[in-house]
Structures are given as C-alpha cells and as structure tokens.
C-alpha cells in the first residue's frame, strides 16, 4: 500500500470499503490503532502494519501506512524480518487468536524468546470468523458457540500466560469496545523497546454468541483502578522477578473477573537488536535498509555468477 508523504497531520484512514460485520470488535481495534498512531506523532513513513489471515488480516488494508497482508500464522515472522532489516521502523501486527496461537504458535513463542520490539495486537474472539466460526485456540473447553455442532473438546490457550512465560516484556489486555483504554495501551506498546503483546478481547458478533460484548462487560475490570502496577521500576526489581510472578498470577484470572490493563512491563531486558549487534558489526546502525546496493547505477554485488549458475542452457 502506498504511503502518503509525511504531513503534520497524517490521515491514518484509507478509503477502502470495510467488509467486517457491522458491530464487529475489529472496528474498535482499527480505530484505536489509528488514534494511537496519530497521537504518537510517528512519521507514517516509519510505520509498518503487518497482518495474518482471518478477518483481522484486513486491518492492514485500512491503516494508511505501509501494510503487508501475509500468510496464515506468519505475520510475526514477516514482521521480524521487517524490523531487523530496518530497526528504525515501528512495526505493528494485527492477527487473530487462531492465526497466532494455532498455526503461528511457534512464531508467537519465538517473538517472546527474542524480545523483538514489535507490537502484536491479538484479535481474541475464540473463533475462526473468516471461515464460519470453528473453535479457535482461546475458546474454552466445553463451550458450544452457535457455530459449533458440539461443545469444544480442545483445551484453551491463555495468551497472556504464554506471553509472560516465553519472555514478552510488555503484556497487556484490552477490550475492543473500550477505544480510549486500548488506544493508551497501543501507545505504550509501540513505545516499548521489546516484544509487546496486547490481548484484545474482540467479540465476534456473528459466530461467538457466548463471549459477547455483554458477557465481557459483566466481568472486566481495570487493574490500575485496583492499585495493580505491573511496571518494573529498577534493575533490582527486574532481577527479583517479583513483578513477573505477580503478572503470571494475574494472567490466570479469567472467569467471573477479567483484568484489563498492563499486566507486565519490563524495560530492563535488552532487546533482540542488542543481540544482533553482538554478532553483526555495526548493527543496528548499519543494517540492510541503509546498506548501499548500487553505485553510479551499477549494482555493488555482482549477480552474474549466481545468474549464470541458474541459467538453463
Ligand atoms: Fe468480525 Fe466475526 Fe464478522 Fe469476522 S465474522 S468480521 S470476526 S463479526
């Protein structure tokens, strides 16, 4: 998708027709991401929006920055390549729970292990909406949505627990209909120098008649309103692991009460870019995006030998 030239007030909306079901929770995530980028004042040319496959995959079409709509489960792999090739970019990913915790689960884990500065907005609705509502990895065992012939026989994955236990250094939960709260969390995640997960409770109004907007509204509460503070304040506190233990405990709370807000934020863990810098001389200052590839119109790398090898004669 082409970028507009940088402006004082960039319009993050595109003119493309949006075909999500009216009332879908995806709309709140889209609007919040657009507002967050607007308020952060990032140069839109330095923002890349990556999506996977599913209803959420269309988000990259609706945000007016460079967007990439990738393969099923591979959004984080692609985003990793973008970020490492050009570390100055802010990279945001929108992907569903089926995409990220099913076929893409390996990449989800690797993102935490590596602590790559990427913001993942997980569209968590418990179903594969695009393909008519099959049970996705966050749907609780025994639940029968209207699109299932019988109750779900698979155990559910807890996205925040998995993220915390695999090394994500920013883990939060938000509700897609709370655009103000979600916008603030996206801003924090984008500014964070490490792997950031936002587990966004995003009701699928068409196929999940159990975890509805009302179902969540009866259960959600604000962590900060109850005095919870998941931010690690010092290297000593990071070392002690106390905040991580508290966040792990909090992440298990998902039933009659569901906490929203920042579960964990730790700026004291070096990001993957530091690790790359120890193996690649000059990185991240010298990176693929700013390496010259030609001089006076001629490529610096002689490709003729490679092409000769590939030639079919
Ligand atoms: Fe949203 Fe569900 Fe419709 Fe997909 S099928 S657009 S997730 S309401």
User: DSSP states of 200-226 as a string?
Assistant: EE---TTT-SSS-HHHHHTTEEETGGG
CATH of the domain at 120: 3.40.50.970
As beta bridge partners, residue 192 has none
In the chain, the number of structural domains is 2
- At residue 213, does pLDDT exceed 80? yes
| Paired tokens of 199 | 């587990």
297 and 223, same structural domain?
A: no
Residue nearest to atom 1 of ligand 1 (CA): 24
Q: Tell me the mean pLDDT in the region 30-46.
A: 96
291 and 196, same structural domain?
A: no
Identify the domain containing residue 305 by its residue range: 280-313
Domain-embedded: residue 2: no
CA 20 to ligand 1 centroid distance, Å: 6
Q: Tell me the mean pLDDT in the region 254-282.
A: 95
pLDDT digits (tens, 9 = 90+) for 68-120: 999 999 999 999 999 999 999 999 999 999 999 999 999 999 999 999 999 99
Residue nearest to atom 2 of ligand 1 (CA): 204
Q: Tell me the mean pLDDT in the region 144-166.
A: 97
Residues written for the chain = 313
CA 125 to ligand 1 centroid distance, Å: 9
Q: What is the pLDDT of residue 1?
A: 47
Domain-embedded: residue 11: no
pLDDT digits (tens, 9 = 90+) for 106-132: 999 999 999 999 999 999 999 999 999
The percent of residues above 90 in pLDDT, for the chain, comes to: 88
Q: Answer for the pair 77, 58: CB distance below 8 angstroms, yes or no.
A: no
Q: Tell me the mean pLDDT in the region 150-169.
A: 98
205 and 87, same structural domain?
A: yes
Q: Which of 10-24, 144-158, 255-269, 283-297 has the lowest mean pLDDT?
A: 283-297
Ligand 1: atom nearest CA of 20 is 6
Residue 235 burial (10 A CB sphere; 0-12, 13-18, 19+): exposed
pTM higher than 0.95, yes or no? no
SS3 state of residue 68: strand
Q: How would residue 302 be classed by pLDDT, with cut points 50, 70 and 90? A: confident
Q: Tell me the mean pLDDT in the region 131-139.
A: 96
227 and 287, same structural domain?
A: no
- At residue 297, does pLDDT exceed 90? no
Question: Nearest 5°: phi and psi at 112?
Answer: -70, -45
Cα 101 from Cα 124, distance rounded (Å): 10
113 and 59, same structural domain?
A: yes
241 and 286, same structural domain?
A: no
Q: What is the pLDDT of residue 227?
A: 97
Domain-embedded: residue 17: no
- At residue 4, does pLDDT exceed 60? no
144 and 258, same structural domain?
A: yes
305 and 204, same structural domain?
A: no
207 and 297, same structural domain?
A: no
CA-CA-CA-CA torsion sign (148, 260, 92, 239): negative
Pick from 73, 139, 78: which is nearest to 101 by CA? 73
Domain-embedded: residue 7: no
Ligand 1 close to Cβ of residue 128 (< 6 A)? no
Domain-embedded: residue 6: no
Q: Which of 189-198, 214-223, 277-286 has the lowest mean pLDDT?
A: 277-286
Residue nearest to atom 5 of ligand 1 (CA): 129
Q: What is the pLDDT of residue 8?
A: 61
Ligand 1 close to Cβ of residue 29 (< 6 A)? no
CA 142 to ligand 1 centroid distance, Å: 22
- At residue 7, does pLDDT exceed 80? no
């Amino acid at each position: 998708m082409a970028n507009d030239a940088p402006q004082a007030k960039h319009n993050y909306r595109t003119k493309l027709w949006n075909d999500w079901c009216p009332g879908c929770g995806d709309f709140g995530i889209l609007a919040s991401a657009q507002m967050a980028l607007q308020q952060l004042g990032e140069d839109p040319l330095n923002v890349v929006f990556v999506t996977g496959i599913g209803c959420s995959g269309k988000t990259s079409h609706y945000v007016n920055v460079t967007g990439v709509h990738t393969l099923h489960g591979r959004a984080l792999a692609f985003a990793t390549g973008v970020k490492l090739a050009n570390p100055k970019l802010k990279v945001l990913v929108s992907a569903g729970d089926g995409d990220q915790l099913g076929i893409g689960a390996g990449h989800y884990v690797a993102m935490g292990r590596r602590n790559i500065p990427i913001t993942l907005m997980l569209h968590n609705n418990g179903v594969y909406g695009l393909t008519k509502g099959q049970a996705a990895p966050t749907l609780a065992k025994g639940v029968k949505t209207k699109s299932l012939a019988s109750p779900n026989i698979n155990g559910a994955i807890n996205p925040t627990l998995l993220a915390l236990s695999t090394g994500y250094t920013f883990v939060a939960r938000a509700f897609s209909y709370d655009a103000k709260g979600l916008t603030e969390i996206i801003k924090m995640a984008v500014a964070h120098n490490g792997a950031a997960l936002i587990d966004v409770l995003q009701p699928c109004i068409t196929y999940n008649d159990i975890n509805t907007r009302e179902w969540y509204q009866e259960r959600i509460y604000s962590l900060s309103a109850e005095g919870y503070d998941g931010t690690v304040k010092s290297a000593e506190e990071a070392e002690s692991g106390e905040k991580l233990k508290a966040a792990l405990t909090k992440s298990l709370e998902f039933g009659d009460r569901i906490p929203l807000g920042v579960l964990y934020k730790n700026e004291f863990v070096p990001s993957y870019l530091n690790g790359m810098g120890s193996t690649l001389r000059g990185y991240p200052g010298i990176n693929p995006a700013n390496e010259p590839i030609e001089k006076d119109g001629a490529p610096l790398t002689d490709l003729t030998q490679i092409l000769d090898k590939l030639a079919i004669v």
